[in-house]
Amino acid sequence: MVWEFLAWGALGQLIRSAIGIRKAALRGDKLNFPHWFSSVILGAVIGAISGALFQPYVPINTWVVSFLAGYAGTDYIEGLTEKKVI
């Protein structure tokens, strides 16, 4: 079950990053592959943790929680690190 949550979290982050990559390409920016790869891994981990935590409370659609956590959670954590809160 944790592998499913990892996959849904990674998928959420992949969709979010695809949008960012497209915007960067339109601006002419280069892809920072290590940053992109680490954000996908972070999205997968956030999705797995949130899915495991919320499974007792949302037993039917826990994948949605993992997907949304991977999509939005990575952005939140990256924002905190850019502001040097973490």
Question: What pLDDT score does 57 carry?
Answer: 87
The tokens for 33 are 């592959």
- How far apart (Å, rounded) are the C-alpha atoms in residues 66 and 64? 5
Question: What pLDDT score does 73 carry?
Answer: 84
Domain locations in the chain as residue ranges: 2-82
Contact 35, 27 (CB under 8 A): no
- How far apart (Å, rounded) are the C-alpha atoms in residues 58 and 54? 6
Output 86 or 26, whichever has higher pLDDT. 26
**pLDDT tens digits for range 29-42:** 888 899 889 999 99
pLDDT band for position 86 (cuts 50, 70, 90): low
Question: What pLDDT score does 80 carry?
Answer: 80
